[in-house]
Amino acid sequence: MSFTPVLRAEWIRIRTLRSLCGALLALFAVTTGFSALAGLSDTSDPEFDPLFTALSGVVPGQIAAVTFGAMAVSCEYHGGAIRVSLAAVPQRARWFAAKLTVVAAATLAVGLVTAAVALWAARAGLGSAAGGLTAGEQTRAVVGCGIYFMLMAVLAAGLTALFRSGVATLSLLIPLLLVVPFVIGDIAGSATGFLPDRAGQAVLHRSHDGPPGPWSGPAVTALWATAAVLAGARRLHRQDA
């Protein structure tokens, strides 16, 4: 079977599963809602960054992105669905590539729309505090936000293929995203900037001190995602369905 019908089948599967559509809806609602609330925050802090504040909803919103990526793969391991999928598409690499392509495309599309709406909602609250943001800075942040959501979803999808469990993936990623950077921040120093979330979010800052930079940061996150995908593909190739 060629790649196109496999891709179409995976798109139909993701589009028709309510839980996956719900995760994308949550990505939009949570990110936009928290960014709008951040637009009402105090702007007198000397370290205030209007660009990151306007898109700070990405922090809780990323949980919906990784949940989407994890569920898109974990649904295959419920009730032996993976056996049916691989019987229809014996070329496991082709099937996995189609799955990841649909996950990435769907998250990127929703992420771009979400970032644009979140930025607009937050700017309405920030008022003149966000008046100095240039069109280039805002475009970079919106595009970078969409790419960041996409990479986190792909990272979660790769880990789920490795663990064969969405619960295991979320049990690892959620503490990594919400707890670990704050716990080890003072100890590890600038090294925390190379964690997948901190690196990817560098593009959302108006000015970012230290490595990685605005675009090298998402590249670091892409390396994390690539490693997870390769590990998941290896487990898929070696493990009997």
pLDDT higher at 1 or 21: 21
Residue 230 has pLDDT above 90, yes or no: yes
The per-residue pLDDT for 89 is: 86
Mean pLDDT check: name the lowest of 91-95, 129-133, 141-145: 129-133
Domain boundaries, the chain: 3-238
pLDDT of residue 83: 86
pTM (2 decimals)?
0.93
User: Length of the chain in residues, anyone?
Assistant: 241
Q: Which residue has the higher pLDDT, 233 or 84?
A: 233
Report d(CA 57, CA 114) in Å as an integer. Answer: 10
The pLDDT assigned to 34 comes to 95
Pairwise CA distance, residues 5 & 55, whole Å:
37
User: pLDDT-derived band of residue 140, with 50, 70 and 90 as boundaries?
Assistant: very high
Structure tokens belonging to residue 39 = 């637009």
Mean pLDDT over 196-207 rounds to 90
Least confident of 77-86, 136-145, 170-179: 77-86
Task: Retrieve residue 96's tokens.
Answer: 């996995």
Which pLDDT score is estimated for 203?
Answer: 94
Rounded mean pLDDT of 163-168?
Answer: 94
pLDDT of 124 = 87
Average model confidence (pLDDT) across the chain: 89
Say which residue, 92 or 153, is predicted with more confidence. 153
Q: Over range 118-144, report the average pLDDT.
A: 89
Bond before 90 cis per omega within 30 degrees: no
Contacts of 131 (CB under 8 A, 6+ apart): none
Q: How far is CA 185 from CA 119, 181, 216, in A?
A: 28, 5, 20
Q: Report the pLDDT value the prediction gives residue 207, as an integer from 0 to 100.
A: 78
Range 158-187 average pLDDT:
86
pLDDT in tens, 11-53: 998 889 999 999 999 999 999 999 999 888 766 666 788 899 9
Calculate what percentage of the chain has a pLDDT beyond 70. Answer: 93
**Percentage above 90 pLDDT, the chain:** 63
